[in-house]
Amino acid sequence: MNGKKRFSRILIGLLLVPALLSGCERPTESVPELLEPVGVTVDTEKVTRGSLVVADLYEGSLTACISEIAFQIDGVIKEIRVYPGQEVRACTVLMNFDLEKTGERIDALKENIEYIEASGKYTDQINMLKVELAQAEYDEAAAAFGADSKNARIKKADLEQAWLTRNQTAEQRELELSEAQKELEKLQDSLEYQVVTAPQDGHVYYDNVRPGTYVQAGKTVAYVTDPGEMRFVVRTNLSPYYLEGRTFYAVVEGKRYELIPEFMSDEEKISIILSNGTISTSFRPDPSQDLSALSAGQFGMLFVEKEHLEDVLQVPSDALGYDGLNGYYVYVMENGARVKRYVKAGTSDGVMTEIREGLEEGEVVYVQN
């Protein structure tokens, strides 16, 4: 019995020795095995040097330039010669007013002008004959009775009246002719205004107009797109002061394109605000670069650089962890094992982060994908 008790005490003592020894040792930081969460994989990347850009990003899209089409005079549309979406060439007639009535009036005016000119020549000849006859009668009376005689004075008054009639008739005819010619010129000019044409090659679109629709001068009746002239548009009002001195460009399908801003006038902005619209900022792709891969409808990102660093040490941002006590850290590979190391992080563009202390170029870090 006593032998069993001694064996039990020895066994308990042996079990307590490791616990007592561990309580007396100084604690050391160890890195537990890195276990990936479900659905997350871990890859490795080397610490590299390169440029790092921090930029404001704005979503945008490419839109074809649009020309607004409007008549320059009031009228009623008689014909629409194209259908919505039709591809048209420059100078194609899109719509017109009632040209038939205008043509009839032009023909009538031309006939009237010809009549006035022809009848005027005949009237001038008759009136000049009357002037010559009155002159002859005056000369005869003056020779027979004297220039101061009653008969001569009567004939002189007849001569003056003949000249007055001749001149007044000519002036009245010239006035009628001038008015008819002015109306003709106006109608002939209006023929140009009674049709609207495509300003360039493109596709035509229109809505809410049809034959018989009354339209006012200057009111848009159609649009013609210009696929060869595009703009990159962001639905944000970016001021000239914001962009001044900064590098900005669009990235469309992975390719960078330099841009030229086109700012709205204050009047245009006020008009949009009063109509509850959204003020956008438009950029023209620099024509000196290859634009063959661009087409209307493509989406992209506008980059407005805030900071541009060259030759900085950097790692993927997904390689960094953070704890509130010591700050940023990474897992690096040392002797084939993962080791946690604290680092000093700097500028980040959201994808890559600058490392100012704690790593060397070429070291391998673990990155969560």
Query: Which amino acid appears at position 359 of this protein?
Result: L
Asked whether 201 and 90 are in contact (CB, 8 A), the reply is yes
Give the residue from 306, 341, 359 where a domain finishes. Answer: 306
Cα separation of the two ends of the chain: 65
Residue 312 sits in the same domain as residue 325: yes
Q: Residue 336 is part of a domain; what is its CATH number?
A: 2.40.420.20
Q: Report the relative pairing of strands 42-46 and 364-368 from DSSP bridges.
A: antiparallel
pLDDT digits (tens, 9 = 90+) for 233-250: 999 999 999 999 999 999
Residue 47 lies in a domain: yes
Instruction: Write the pLDDT tens digit of every residue in 270-290.
Output: 988 888 888 999 999 999 999
- CA separation for the pair 302, 249 (Å, rounded): 6
Whether 209 is covered by a domain: the verdict is: no
The pLDDT of residue 368: 83
Q: What is the pLDDT of residue 41?
A: 57
Task: Name the band, by pLDDT with cuts 50, 70 and 90, for residue 29.
Answer: very low
User: Domain count of the chain?
Assistant: 3
User: 282 and 351 share a domain?
Assistant: no
The pLDDT of residue 31 is above 60: no
Separation in Å, CA 348 to CA 62, 250, 308, 366: 29, 20, 11, 18
Identify any residues that bridge with 314 across adjacent strands, giving them in sequence order.
48, 354
Instruction: For residue 199, tell me if it sits in a domain.
Output: no
The answer to whether residue 198 sits within a structural domain is no
**Cα 69 from Cα 81, distance rounded (Å):** 14
Residues 281 and 361 in one domain: no
Are 234 and 251 in the same domain? yes
The verdict on residue 166 lying in a domain is: yes
pLDDT at position 99, please?
78
Q: Which of 67, 72, 115, 134 is nearest to 97 (CA)?
A: 72
Domain extent, residue 275, equals: 57-66+225-306
For residue 246, the number of C-alpha atoms closer than 13 Å in the C-beta half-sphere is: 20
Same domain, yes or no: 346 and 325: yes
Whether 280 is in a domain gets the answer: yes
pLDDT digits (tens, 9 = 90+) for 118-173: 999 999 999 999 999 999 999 999 999 898 999 999 999 999 999 999 999 999 99
- 49-76 burial, b for 16+ CB within 10 Å, e for fewer? eeebbebeebebbbbbbebebebeeebe
For residue 278, give the CATH number of its domain: 2.40.30
Same domain, 282 and 313: no
Residue 264 lies in a domain: yes
Do 297 and 348 lie in one domain? The reply is no
Cα gap 159→152, rounded to integer Å? 10
Q: How far apart are CA 307 and CA 160, in angstroms?
A: 95
The reply to whether 132 and 113 lie within a common domain is yes
- Note the pLDDT tens digit of each residue in 294-351: 988 899 999 999 888 999 999 999 999 999 888 999 999 888 888 999 999 999 888 8
**Same domain, residue pair 364 and 323:** yes
pLDDT value for 350: 82
- Is residue 36 in a domain? yes
Give counts: helices (H), strands (E), the chain. 5, 19
Comparing CA positions, the residue from 41, 37, 42, 50 lying closest to residue 332 is 42
- Mean pLDDT computed over 18-24: 37
Residue 316: per-residue pLDDT: 93
Is the domain of 299 the same as that of 337?
no
105 and 189 both lie in a single domain: yes
One domain, residues 295 and 313: no
